Each structure stands twice: as structure tokens, then as C-alpha cells.
Structure 1
Amino acid sequence: MTLSATPAPVRARSRGRLGVHAFLLVVSLAFLAPLLLAVYASLRPYEETAKYGYFSLPRHLSFDYYRQAFVDSGMGKYFVNSLVIAVPGVLITLFLASFVAFAVARLRIRGGTVLLMVFTAGNLLPQQVIVTPLYVLFNKIPLPYWMSDSLTVYDSYWAVIAVQIAFQLGFCVFVLAHFMRTLPVEILEAAIVDGAGVWARYRRVTLPLCRPALAALGTLQFTWMYNDFLWGLVFLSDGDKLPVTSALNNLRGQFFTDYNLLAAGSVLVALPTILVFLALQRHFIAGLTLGASKG
């Protein structure tokens, strides 16, 4: 008795799967190539790459550039500045977005669809268009001395945090509203029967089920707010308050720039976002795929 050959549909699926994996591998390497090249360059002396090229084999590897980049740029205080902006910005954005999304998706308020369209349309507005109006406005809004050294919103972290929240809120509302609509209605109906109010249904029922989506959005929002440079440059006149992305400019010389040193500084700046992604990787992937699998 001879064994039958592998059916043609099975072979076709196997070839198709290999093709998909090969394509994903090529795309992944294409996205990782700049980061890997920056890490490789940051470990080599500039004189070596200037003589032999960036794609040559290394003669000497060390972490000296990382120490020099951290010390010369004063990166420590800039890290703190970025965290002061990004962490409250992410938390406030997710709280407000989840509350609005819950009202739109679960309370069936009048005009909820129009409200969702307004939040979504806000993402279509180019940010640079309102730089000048916001600059004038923030200079006229007073704040107490314990909230701002300038006694106005301008030149305070509140200005950057407020703008970040305003521009990221629409995207988060859009994603969370669609995610909440995939949740079983029977769960909320059971909570209503048990006497749960609106706040209890939001905090005790809906939010725990949205944990994957919130983790995915939190990872994206932290990356975007942490890496932002425009709003800090526009609304912060005090150099000691600038975000960490501005620290890289301190590594550029007036007549000469050591690009290997700049690469080391770039890797250091990127480390927090990489650590956040690794910490929330499981929830991030679940948040991207769970909503798609719901009918």
C-alpha cells in the first residue's frame, strides 16, 4: 500500500504561508535596519567609520559614546521633562476617551454618532494650522504661581499636555467606541438588572473588558507624546523644560557633528518607548487583534 501524495490545496497553502512569512521578514528587517545601523554606529569610533565606512567590519567596539551622550546633553533632566508631559497626558487622554466612548457606544445618547464624527474629524485638522492662535491664547490665560513660573499657560507643562490631549482624544474615542460596541450587550444588561448605575457599569464592567484596547492605545499614545518635539519647542521658552527629543540638538557641534555620538543619543532617547512596548507587548497585541475577531 503506497502513501498518497500531499493534496494540491495543502501544498498551495504551505507555499502561500511561506510567502507571507518571507514578506513579513523582509518588511521587519526593512523597519529594523535604521535602528540596527544606529546601534552599530554608536558602538564604533567616528574615526573608524569615517575611514572604513559605516558598513565595514568593526575594529573596536565600546559603550563610551552612550556615557558621553548622556553626560554632554544633560539627558537626565530632559527624560524627566518628557515623562512629566507624557505620563499625565496618556492617563488623562485614556480616561476622557473611555468615558466619551462609553457614552457613545453603550448609553445610546442622542446625537452620539454625530459626536463621534466630530471627534474623528478633529484628527483631520493639521496641527500646524493652530500654532499661532494657541500661542496667543496661552499667553493670555493666567495660572497661579505654583502651576506656572510665567503665571500663564505659556511656558508651562500644562500647555503641552493640554495640546497633546486635545489632538489625541479623537483617535482614542474612535478606537474605544468601536471596541466597546463589540462587547456582549448581555453583560451590561445583567449589570443593570443587578442595580448597577452608569458609573458602576463604566468602571466595574466596561473598563476591565477594555484592558487590551487601553493597553494598545496607551502604548501608542506614550510613543507619540514622548517623541513629540513641535509643541515643546513652541510652548516652552525655558530650555530646562524642553522634552528629551531636544537633548539631541545639544550633541550637534557648531562646525562638526559626530554622527556616531548622535546615534548613541538617539538610541538612549528611544529606550523608554521600547521598554514600554516590551512591558505591554502582550496586551498591545491582544488589543490589536481582539476587536477584529468579534462579530
Structure 2
Amino acid sequence: MSTATQLSSAKPSARPSGSAKKAKRHWGTHLFLTMMAVIWLVPLLWSIYTALRPKESTDANGYFSFAGPFNFQNFIDAWNQAGLVKYLFNSAIITIPTVLITLFLASMMAFAVSRVSWKFNISLLILFTAGNLLPPQVLAAPLFEIFKHIELPYSVSASGSLLNTYISVIAVNTAFQIGFCTFVLSNYMKALSPDLTEAALVDGAGIWRQYWSIIMPLCRPALAALATLEVIFIYNDYFWPLLFIQSGDLLPITAGINNLQGQFLSNYNLIAAGAIITVLPTLVIYLLLQRQFVAGLTLGSSKG
């Protein structure tokens, strides 16, 4: 082989590799995601920064300044003044049963419309999904009147009705969230192989056994993803508790944080510290279920 031939064969190819093409093709997506991440993180980081500064420092230098000192006194004051332990307990009483009831009912409905062939499965799925298109505020006045006229023993409700009880908030949140969960779980269950339930049916397994012992264990990633989302939705809900609960002792933490609001003067450093504290429970839940959350969102994304 001649020297010229060897040199020509040793020259690198001018054609870009597949990875270079892919990187060039997705630079716009990466730029967009970076910008969105910054937009979401700036308010959070600024709230943390404000919560770490004493009010005297911001009064002297302004909120848009970088003067110290920094400490955790606002967090201690917010925890003690707002009584956040009681409100966190109220939020747990509302959030945990709502999430469990919603996922249980939605999983049964999703199984019925996705794994069982019958006449009204598609119609019911459309009906459940269409319920999410209705603004909750439209039903605020009718629901308030209905709950006011539903009588309960005074041992259960101090108002003698469904108002001013955890039950009213749990029922409404369940009703409004069950459609979304049914839609997500039904699509997830449709992706599972039909051979699983057919084999179980041949072995003599009934509908309940197919649902509970075969399909539900395979839906753990989707259930974990939905549980994370539902905890965030319901825990952060402000409208329904404020509408149905009049007693301050029963309010969740989203409404109880108003205790940090002064009548004539607002300490925004203190409010920022209280807001950061309210975020911590949902952040912990997300970190605990992060792997299942990502798996539930990405499973089936590569299928045609």
C-alpha cells in the first residue's frame, strides 16, 4: 500500500458522528429546560434567602440586597408563633385518607374500563375524564348548601352538619381527583399484557383476584407517581378547606399559615420561613418515592 493511500485512510471522517448530531439536535430542548428550571428555582431560592435574613436587615437594606447577617431565627419563630404542629396534623388527617381512598377507587374503576370488556367501559372513562374539565369553583356554592343541609350528630360535627368537618374536604377532594387518577391508571393498565389476566382466568381466578393479586402489584410505579402528585395537590389545596371549615382548630397548614400575617404590619421574612417549612413534608415524600415516581412517568414512553 502506498504512502498516499495510508495517509488518506488515516484522515478522520469529516461526517459528524451520531452523538454529535443528537447533541446538536437537542440543544434547543436543553436550553428551554434550563430556562424553565431557573424560572422555577429563583422564587424558591429567594424565599429561602429572605427567610434566613432578620427583618431588621431587610428594613435597613431592602429585600433586593445581599447584606447579612443570616440565621434560622425566623424558622424558630414561625414554628412557635403559627402553631404549625397542629396544622400539620390537620393536613395529614385530610391528605392521607384522601390519597388512599382516591387511589383505591380509581384503581378499581381503571381496572373495570381497561381490563374488562363490557358495554359502557369507554363511556364511563370519558365521563370520569370529563369531570376534570369542570372548574371546582363552579360547584362551590351548591356543595356548600348541600353540606349545610346534611345533618350529623353533634358528637361527629360541632356544627350539626357536614360543614366544619374533615369529611367534607376529604369527600370533595376525592371526587375531583378520582377522574384524573382513573385516566392515568387505565392507560397504564392497558399497556400490561392481556395474557396475564387470561392465564389467571384459566386458573380459576375471579375478577377480584385478578385485580388485587395480579394487576395491582404491577401498578406500583404508577401508584407511587400518582400518590406523590396527589399528596402535593391535596396538601397544597387552599380553596376547599377555607370554604368548608370555619373552625381555626381544624384548618390545614395552607390556611393556618395566615396566623403569621399581622393585622397592621407583615413580617415577610417570617412568612417566607413558614412557607418553606410547609414545603418540607411534600419534599420528603417526593424524595422517598423518587425512583417509583420517575419509573411511573417514563414507563411506556418508548412504545409506539
Deviation at 1:145, TM superposition (A): 4.0
Give the Cα–Cα distance (whole angstroms) in 2 for the partners of residues 118 and 17 of structure 1: 38
Trace 1:199-238 onto structure 2 (pairs within 5 A): 199-238=208-247
Cα distance in 1 between the residues matched to 2:151 and 2:119 = 36
2:87 to 78, 85, 103: 78
TM-score by structure 1 length? 0.95
State the alpha-carbon separation in 2 of the partners of residues 77 and 6 from structure 1. 68
Q: Which runs of 4+ in 1 moved over 6 A?
A: none
Deviation at 1:55? 3.8
Query: Residue in 1 aligned with 2:168?
Result: 159
Q: Distance in 2 between matches of 1:255 and 1:106?
A: 59
* 1:57 equivalent in structure 2: 66
CA drift of 1:118 comes to: 0.7
CA distance in 1, matches of 2:116, 2:266: 57
| Letter paired with 2:69 | H
**TM-superposed deviation, 1:147:** 3.1
| 1:171 maps to 2:180 | yes
2:120 matches 1:114? no
The sequence identity of aligned pairs, in percent, is 47
Unaligned runs of 5+ in 1: none
* Corresponding residue of 1:25: 34
For the pair 1:99 / 2:108, whether they are aligned, the reply is yes
Aligned AA (1:32) = L
What is the CA–CA distance in structure 2 between the aligned matches of 1:112 and 1:144, rounded to whole Å? 39
CA distance in 2, matches of 1:43, 1:199: 53
Alignment of 1:4 with 2:6, yes or no, is no
Consecutive unaligned residues in structure 2, runs of 5 or more? 1-6
Residues of 1 paired with 2:277 and 2:226: CA distance? Answer: 23
TM-score of the aligned structures, taking structure 2 as reference length: 0.93
Q: 1:286 aligns with which of 271, 275, 295?
A: 295
Shift of 1:3: 4.1
Q: In structure 2, how many angstroms separate the alpha carbons of the residues matched to 1:146 and 1:198?
A: 39
Give the SS at the match of 1:8: coil
CA–CA separation in structure 1 for the residues paired with 2:246 and 2:139: 18
Matched residue count: 295
Cα RMSD over matched residues?
Answer: 1.5
Per-residue deviation, residues 187-221 of structure 1 (Å, max 9, x unmatched): 11111122111011001111111111111111111
C-alpha separation in 2, matches of 1:6 and 1:215 = 48
Any idea what the Cα deviations from partners look like across 1:236-264, whole Å, max 9, x if unmatched?
11110011011221111111111111100
What SS is found at the alignment partner of 1:291? coil
